[in-house]
Amino acid sequence: MAKILIIDDDDLMCQSLSLVAGRWGHEVTCTHTLGAGLEKASSQAFDVVFLDVRMPDGNGLDMIPRIEATTSSPEIIIMTGFGNPLGAELAIKSGAWDYIEKGSSVKEITLSLVRALEYRKQKRNGKSARNVVVLKREDIVGNSPKTKVCLELVAQAAECDANVLITGETGSGKELFARAVHENSRRNGRNFVVVDCAALPETLVESLLFGHEKGAFTGAEQSREGLVLQANGGTLFLDEVGELPLSMQKAFLRVLQEHRFRPVGGHREIASDFRLVAATNRDLDRMVRDGRFREDLLFRLRSFVIELPPLRERPEDIRELAGYHVDKLCERYGLSAKGFSPEFMKTLAAYPWPGNVRELVNSLERTIAAARLEPILFPKHLPVQIRVQVAQASVRNGPDADRPEAAPPAGFPKLHDFRESVYAQAEKQYLHDLLALSQENMNEACRLSGLSQSRLYALLKKQEISHP
C-alpha cells in the first residue's frame, strides 16, 4: 500500500482520484491549497503527489522543488488543463515524474500511478538511476532546486548510453556537466574527447574528426587517427555543436547512426564505439527553421536533454559557488582563506551574471587580485563594471539611492538615452529580484510588486526574462 497526496482545489477531481487510488488499497490524503499541501508533505511521508497547476494560492509547478525537497521526496504527477501542451512541457521540465490531463480516463490515471510507484520501488531497491547523493559531481557546486534537477538528469544519463544534448547560456557549466555524465558512466575508464566545433578550421574538420591516411592531402606525411576514434570506448563531447558546418553535419549523422566512418584518403571503414554528448548555447530549433542545422541530426542529438538554467535563475547557488572558487583561487595563489562581508554577498546577489558562472569565476579572480592580503572581501574589491551595474539597478529605489560610479564607456550619452538605459537596466534587475524573492510564484510576484498579472507578463516578455 502506498501513501498518496492530492493537492487540488477541485473537489470532484479529488474524489475521483481518491476513488482510483483507493481501489488499489492506497491511503489517500486530499488538500485544497498549495500551502496546506506543502504542510502535509513536510509533516508526513508520501510516495506520490498529484499536483494541480492552477491553485488559488499560486502555480503548482513552483511547488515541485519544495515537495521534492521534503524528507520522503515523493514522485510528483502534475495535472494539467485539458489540451495544454505547454503545461505538459512545463511539468516535465520542472522535474515532475509525469503529467496527466484533467479529464483523463481512469485507465490513464491508474497507469501513471502504477508506473510512478514501480519507479519508486526500483529506486528504493537501488536498481534504477543513481541519485544525486552518490553521483560524482566533478566540481559541480550548488544545491538549488534547479541544480538538483540537472544533477538528477546527469545521474539518469550516466545510466544509459543515449546521446545527450546539454543546452544553456555561455558559461553556465555545459562542459562541466558533460564531464560528469562521462565520469559517472560505465565509460569513465576511457577517453573523454572534447571537440570544440566553433574552433574547427573548415578545411581540416573532416581529417580532425575522422583522421587521415598518409598522403591523403598535401602535408599529410603521416597517417593520423581522428578524434572520433580517440573516443572509442569513451565519450565524444561536441561542444558548440551548432557551429558544425552543414557539410559535416550530414557526414556526422551517418557516423552517429552507424558508428563507422572512413578516414580521409582511406579505403576501409573503421568502427568506433563512442557515446555522444553535445552542447550548445544556440537555439537549434531556430537554426533548423533557418536551414542552418539538419533536423535529422537534431533529432538524434536530443535523445536525452539537460537544460542548464542561467545563474540568475538560481541565485541560491551564488554563495556556495563564490566560496568554492575563492578557496580554490586562494590556494592557487598561495593566499590564506578569505571571508565575505555581507555587502559583498549582497552585490554578488544583485548582479545578473550574463556570463554566468564563468563570469563569476573571472570576477572573483580579479577581486582576489585587488584584495591581495586583505582577509575580508568587500564590494570595493569587485570589478568596477559590476559595481556600476548594481549601483545603476539600485536607482529604482529612489532619488537617494547610490549614483552610478562611472561614466558610460563610449561617448557621452544624451540625458534621455542615459536615463532610458538606466531605467531599462533597473527594471530588468527588479524583475529578476522579484522572481527570485517570490520563488517564481506569479501570484506572489504580483502581490509584492503591486503589478497586475498581465502587466507583469508583459514586462517579463519585454525584458526577455524566462518565467514559469
Enumerate binding residues for ligand ATP (CB under 6 A).
139-142, 168, 170-176, 239, 279, 281, 321, 357-358, 361
Angle at 9 between CA 3 and CA 10, to 5 degrees: 95
Closer by beta carbon to ligand ATP, 3 or else 319: 319
- Residue nearest ligand ATP, Cβ-based: 173
Shortest Å, Cβ 308 to ligand ATP:
7
Shortest Å, Cβ 352 to ligand ATP:
16
3-class SS of residue 68: helix
Q: Which DSSP letter does residue 113 get?
A: H
CB 468 within 8 A of CB 61: yes
3-class SS of residue 337: coil
* CA proximity to 36, closest of 16, 51, 22: 51
Closer by beta carbon to ligand ATP, 101 or else 175: 175
Closer by beta carbon to ligand ATP, 239 or else 444: 239
Three-state SS letters, 378-398:
CHHHCCHHHHHHHHHHHHHHC
DSSP one-letter string for 169-222: STTSSHHHHHHHHHHTSTTTTS-EEEEEGGG--TTTHHHHHHEE-TTSSTT--S
Cell for 370? Answer: 585587488
Shortest Å, Cβ 38 to ligand ATP:
27
Shortest Å, Cβ 316 to ligand ATP:
12
Closer by beta carbon to ligand ATP, 61 or else 154: 154
Q: How far is CA 435 from the centre of its chain?
A: 17
* CA proximity to 94, closest of 121, 76, 112, 117: 76
Closer by beta carbon to ligand ATP, 188 or else 362: 362
Shortest Å, Cβ 283 to ligand ATP:
14
E-assigned strand segments in 294-363: 304-307, 339-340
Cell for 41? Answer: 508533505
Q: Which residue has the cell 504580483?
A: 446
Shortest Å, Cβ 355 to ligand ATP:
8
In this structure, what are the phi and psi dihedrals at residue 7, rounded to the nearest 5 degrees? -115, 100
Closer by beta carbon to ligand ATP, 365 or else 427: 365
Closer by beta carbon to ligand ATP, 166 or else 460: 166
Closer by beta carbon to ligand ATP, 213 or else 240: 240
Q: Strand 48-52 and strand 3-7: pairing?
A: parallel
- The DSSP H or E segment spanning 329 is helix 317-332
Closer by beta carbon to ligand ATP, 81 or else 355: 355
Shortest Å, Cβ 168 to ligand ATP:
5
- The DSSP H or E segment spanning 4 is strand 3-7
CA distance 353 to 223: 45
Shortest Å, Cβ 304 to ligand ATP:
17
The helix-helix angle for 442-449 and 453-462 (nearest 10°) equals: 100
Shortest Å, Cβ 457 to ligand ATP:
28
Shortest Å, Cβ 397 to ligand ATP:
31
3-class SS of residue 245: coil
Cell for 146? Answer: 534547479
- The DSSP H or E segment spanning 260 is strand 260-261
Closer by beta carbon to ligand ATP, 200 or else 264: 200
